[in-house]
Structure 1
C-alpha cells in the first residue's frame, strides 16, 4: 500500500526529533523519496509550526511561533498537546477553537490531526501526534455507528500519555469509561427543546434525526428519556433523516413523512437534528404547503447555521467551544500541576473526571415564540 502524506510526515518528524536537525538530502534518502517531495513536506510542516528551516537544513522548532497562532514551541517550557478530531469544520471547528484558546492561555502548543470520520484511522493519527512530540492527547474519535467504539477504540486505554476524550461517551463499564472526558449533555439539550415546545402549547413533538454520529445517537436516546421525564408518549416512530445532498431520495421520504404527520396526523412541533438538515427540510416543506412556524413549530439541534435560515431557526446549542476549552485545561492539569505537586502514589489515587456541559436553547422565529434577545 502506498504511504500517505500524513504517514510520511510522521516519519519525517520522528527523524528530525531524534536527530535534532537534518539536511533535506539526508531526509530524502532516509525516507526513500525525492528531495523535492521532502522540501514540499518540510514547507507544509514548517507552516504548521512543527519544524524550523535553516539554509537547506531542518530542525526541531525552538521559536515561539506555532501553527495557527502564537503558541510556544517545544523547548519553551510548555507541554505539547495533540488534538485528534473527526473534522475541522462545522461542529468541531468550535471545539478546536476552544482547545486552541486554552492551550494558548496555558503556554502550551497545540497540534492537530483530522480523521475525516474514519475511525479505523484514529489510532494511526494518534500515533502521528505522539511522533510529533505530543505530551498528552485530546481525542474525539471518528466514531459514527454504534459499534465503532468496540471495533476501533480499545487502543485508547493503552496510551502511554495522559488523554482526554472530547464529545464521546464510551459504553459504561468499558475500558474507555475510565478515561477523563468532557462532553455536551445532549440528553439535557433534547429535554430543553421538548419542554419549550410543550410550554408553547404544542402536542408531543416529533423527532427527525440522523443516525450517523455519536451526537445523533445521543439525541435519539435523549428523546426517549425526555418523553419519559415529561410524562409523554412518543407520537410516532422517529423519522430517519439523511443529508439532502448525499441521498435525495431518502431525504424526500423524510420530508413526505413530516408532511403527512402535520397534515393528517395532527403533529404541530418537531425537533430536527441537525441545522443543515433542518434548513433543507423547512425549504422543501414550504414547497409542499407546510409553513414554519404557522403549521409546524420547529427546533433544530447544533446551532451552527440555524440563525442564518430564511426563517431563523430556534436551536439547541451544545457548548462546543467550552468542550475544547475545558478538555484542554483538564489535560494541562494532568500534565503540569499534577506531577510537580503530587507524589506518584497520590497521582495514582487521583480520581478521573467526567465533565458534562449543558447545552442552551436559543429561541428564534421557527418555534412561533418571540425570540429571546
Structure 2
C-alpha cells in the first residue's frame, strides 16, 4: 500500500528521533523511497523546525526551555494529542482537550491514526518531533489483541503521557500511566434500569465489536445483568454498519425483529447511534415501530436526537474526558519534580438523555413523564 506524505514524514521523524542523527541517503533506504523524495521530505520538515539539516545529514533539533515561571503556570507548553479519528465520538474529546489547553495557555497539536494501531508509535513520535512535551494518547486499538501487540511502547515514552478512553491490563506497564476514561459500565446500567422502570423485561443488546467502546458496552451489559439479577432474553446481537456490510446489518435487524415478534424482548440497547437510527428505519419497514412495539436506547448520543423519533441515548462525557485529561497532563508537566505524586485513573460517568424512543410507563408513546420531548437529561432516581 502506498504511503501518504504524512505517513512518510511520521516514519522519517521517528527514525531521526531514534538515532539522533541520520544521513539522508540512509533515510531514503529505510523508507523505501528515492533519495530525491527523502531530500524533499527532509527540506519540508526542516523548514517547519522539526529537524536540523547540515551537509547531507539531519539531526534532532535542540529545544529551548521556557522560563520556569511560564512552566509553573502551563503557559507556553506544547501538548500532543493522538486520536484514532477526528470525527464522531472523538471530535468532542478533541474539542474538550483543545479548550483546556487554551485555558492553560498551552498549544495543542494533533495526529490521527485512522484506527491503525501499527501507526500509533510513529504518529506519537512525530508529535514529539513537533515539540510536544507531553502527550494525550487514544491508541487506535480495536480489540484486546491490538493492546497486546501495539501497547508496550507507550510505557517507555520519555515524556508524561495520559491515556484517553483506553484501559490497560491490570498490572501491566500501561496500567501505571495516568488515564481518563468514560465508565461505560455505568452508562449501560443507567439504560437497563431506565427500561426496567418503564415496565419492560430485560432488554436485548445490539452492539458492534470493533472498538474499545463497543467491547466496554458488551462487558457493561453482562455486569449490569449480574448486578440486577437478570437473565438476558437472548444472545447479544452483533451489529455492523449498514453501508459496510449490508448482509450483516440485515441479519442483526432480522434477529431483533424475531425477538420482538416472538415476545422475547420489548426493549433494546443499541450501540451506536448511527446503527440505531438505521435499525429503527428498517424495523419500521418490517412492521415493528419504535416506541410502540420496541423501546430503544442508543449508545454514544452523537446523532440520536436527530432521528425521526428522537432516541433516548446514553451520553459518555466525551468533552470532559478531553478536558480532564489535558488538565492532568498540564499538572504533570508543571508539578515540582522533587515531589512524588500518585498516578491517577479517573472514570467519568455517562448521562442518560431521555427522549421519545422508550415511550412512557405503561407503553404509551411520547417523551418520558414530566419532561418535554427531546430535552430531558433525567433518569429514574434523579439527574444522571
TM-superposed CA distance for 1:4, in Å, is 4.0
**Deviations for 1:71-108, whole angstroms, at most 9, x for unmatched residues?**
x9xxx952111100000000000000000000000111
Q: TM-score, normalized by length of structure 1?
A: 0.82
Residue matched to 1:354: 345
TM-superposed CA distance for 1:284, in Å, is 0.3
TM-superposed CA distance for 1:145, in Å, is 1.8
Q: TM-score, normalized by length of structure 2?
A: 0.79
User: Relative to structure 1, is the Cα distance of residues 140 and 285 closer, same or farther in structure 2, using a 3 angstrom cutoff?
Assistant: same
1:312 lines up with 2:310 in the alignment: yes
How is 1:82-93 mapped onto 2 (pairs within 5 angstroms)? 82-93=80-91
**Deviations for 1:206-236, whole angstroms, at most 9, x for unmatched residues?**
0000000000000000001101111211111
1:286 lines up with 2:284 in the alignment: yes
- Pick one of 162, 179, 182 that aligns with 1:181: 179
Work out whether residues 9 and 41 of structure 2, in 8 Å CA contact, stay in contact via their aligned partners in 1. Answer: no
Residue segments in structure 1 that go unaligned for 5+ positions in a row: 18-30, 52-59, 61-71
1:195 lines up with 2:193 in the alignment: yes
3-state DSSP class of the match of 1:196? helix
Distance (whole Å) between structure 1 residues aligned to residue 271 and residue 191 of structure 2: 12
Residue matched to 1:144: 142
Work out whether residues 313 and 353 of structure 2, in 8 Å CA contact, stay in contact via their aligned partners in 1. Answer: yes
The number of equivalent residue pairs is 330
Residue matched to 1:56: none
Residue matched to 1:27: none
Distance (whole Å) between structure 1 residues aligned to residue 100 and residue 298 of structure 2: 29
Q: Which moved more, 1:223-232 or 1:210-219?
A: 223-232
Distance (whole Å) between structure 1 residues aligned to residue 263 and residue 248 of structure 2: 21
- Pick one of 135, 148, 153 that aligns with 1:155: 153
Work out whether residues 10 and 123 of structure 2, in 8 Å CA contact, stay in contact via their aligned partners in 1. Answer: no
Distance (whole Å) between structure 2 residues aligned to residue 274 and residue 34 of structure 1: 42
Considering only aligned residues, what root-mean-square deviation do their CA atoms show, in Å? Answer: 2.9
**Deviations for 1:244-267, whole angstroms, at most 9, x for unmatched residues?**
110000110000000000001331
Distance (whole Å) between structure 2 residues aligned to residue 150 and residue 35 of structure 1: 33
User: Relative to structure 1, is the Cα distance of residues 98 and 233 closer, same or farther in structure 2, using a 3 angstrom cutoff?
Assistant: same
TM-superposed CA distance for 1:33, in Å, is 3.8
User: Relative to structure 1, is the Cα distance of residues 14 and 133 closer, same or farther in structure 2, using a 3 angstrom cutoff?
Assistant: farther
Residue matched to 1:225: 223
Q: Which moved more, 1:126-135 or 1:269-278?
A: 126-135
How is 1:200-211 mapped onto 2 (pairs within 5 angstroms)? 200-211=198-209
